[in-house]
A and B are shown apart, each in its own frame.
Chain A
Amino acid sequence: MFEKRLNLFAGHFGSGKTEVAVNYAIQMSQVYPKTAIADIDIVNPYFRTADAKKELENRGIWVILPMYANTNVDIPVLPAEMNAVFEKKEYKAVFDVGGDDIGALALSRYREEIASEDYEMFFVVNTRRPFTDTEEKIDEMAREIEYSSRLKITGFVNNTNLLQFTTLNDIIEGQRKIKAVADKYNVPIAITSGFFDDFKLEGTILEGELLNLNKYIKLPF
């Protein structure tokens, strides 16, 4: 983790992209103080990085949000500040991409800037979500996202969960499905993410690096 300068998190809406991206940025900032996170989710105005803004800024992370995020005039416009991420190369950056191929379309706007650098595009999957619960559906979603972002997936993230009802078995079952698709794309499961404090992992082989999540995005209850 944290090797590349640009780290993109895409996936099915509700896959946990934002949760993973926010946690990734916070853990990266502990190694690289100059860390930025950009919310380019202009599809769903309900749950996103904007909710975790204070938490991120308290840790010295540069937060870039759509200008009107979480206000009444929530409109699909990306901020000019976004371009600065590509100028200030001393920063490591995390991009929280919108859900599905529709959300990834916004990423396409920066395709030239991103592709000219070394980047990671992580594809976040929760195999307990309805449109990514089989190998075929994961494959279809990954293909659609590559197509609309015009970028290549470089690694999968196994974020399989049922919130508080997650079992280790769910994660392993998710890993099996995701691995089968990742093999087709010739890329690894780069990260397995979850609330690992809840599990005994001894003896379990989870692919990629472990990203232990903390709850930064608060829900109403």
Chain B
Amino acid sequence: MGEKLLMKGNEVIAEAAIRAGCRHYFGYPITPQTEVAHYMAKRMPKIGGVFLQAESEVAAINMVYGAACTGVRVMTSSSSPGISLKQEGISYIAGAELPAVIVNIMRAGPGLGGILPAQGDYFQAVKGGGHGDFKMLVLAPCSVQELYELTVEAFNLADKYRIGTMILGDGTLGQMMEAVEFKDEENIVHYEKNWATNGTNMERDHNIITSIDTNPEILESWNLRLQDKYKQITENEVRVEEYNCDGADLIVAAYGSVARIVKNVIKMAQKEGIKVGLIRPITLWPFPVNSFEKYAEVTKAFLTVEMSAGQMVEDVRLAVNGKAPVSFYGRTGGIIPTQQEILDKIKSILNR
């Protein structure tokens, strides 16, 4: 059995990254994710790693780009407005096919918004917030334990596909304290990085990493290669939790901390004789389309609950493909939906 500690979500992200072999962190503080930087600042100097507070988010993401070029495991973290600033660099990372882990602990927006939790950056994360045809692998943990496990996994996935991988959580998840049990040994998968610009030793040609090519035929072939990679990821990397779905009158779709609230709603509904299921996408991209297809013709209705004005609900509708009605309930501004609100919505959909 591994070591058990009481930790904040944000601290666990930093600790998991270190355990996954990340020794390069570049960031800029912003609530509610600042503890990631705080933890890195304390730990990195002691283990021969780099913690660098950049002059801005734009600088930080470009440092990530540079470090990733050399083949090291690298991470940055921020919260909503800071992630917006990083979008140009994220698109460049996609274009140059670099592995990097980017953490977004979402807060309420738009604009400067507020520091309280929200899930309004779903579109930005899964539809490509930056320019061009690109995707990020997006992981959405729902507990401190899962934050740990998925952060370690994010580094493996980033290396495997040479892709920007995002941990998408909300302020609740970043700030909550829970017991976490660490493994004695991490599952670190090593991929050969013969593309990295880490010195030729006069034994090979120079590697060139760039996202620019002015020849349209070549640039299109790059795009096709990216699309092929995204297809492979869609086929192989979907993660989802299906809970209580068989024979459910209604299935709720929710991710992250909202999914935890829904699990309590399911218990409340059970007492009233209503069977509610939950589909919790763990990868937001690739989206678990198959899970929705599977239940689309057997359940009466779907309900998507988010801390947003309605974003993931669009992907749920695409997946359900008109076979069942899909409703939405959400709160914004940093307000967390209550169990009762969700239960009332379920009852109104089912006319109970």
Contact = CB atoms under 8 A, between A and B. Distances in A.
Interface stretch (A107-115, A129-137, A147-155, A206-214): A129-137
A14 B10 CA distance: 12
A203 interface: no
Contact of A133 (B5, B114, B171, B175): B5
A133 B3 CA distance: 10
A131 B171 CA distance: 22
Contacts of B115: 45-46, 72, 74
A129 B336 contact: no
Interface residues of A, number: 20
A130 B179 contact: no
Interface in A143-184: 161-163, 165
Contacts of B6: 14, 126, 128-129, 161-163
Given A45-B115, A130-B15, A221-B260, A14 B179 contact: no
Contacts of A14: 6-8, 11, 177
Interface string B248-285: 00000000000011001000000000000000000000
Contact of A163 (B8, B32, B114, B179): B179
Contacts of A128: 4-6, 179
Contacts, number: 51
A219 interface: yes
Contact of B32 (A13, A46, A131): A46
Contacts of B11: 14, 130
Nearest to A220: B336
Contacts of B8: 14
Contacts of B39: 130
Interface of B: 4-8, 11, 15, 31-32, 35, 39, 42, 114-115, 171-172, 175-179, 260-261, 264, 336, 339
Interface of A: 13-14, 45-47, 72, 74, 126, 128-131, 133, 161-163, 165, 219-221
22 contacts: A14-B6, A14-B7, A14-B8, A14-B11, A14-B177, A45-B31, A46-B171, A46-B175, A47-B175, A74-B115, A126-B6, A128-B6, A128-B179, A129-B7, A130-B7, A130-B39, A161-B6, A162-B5, A162-B179, A163-B179, A220-B172, A221-B336
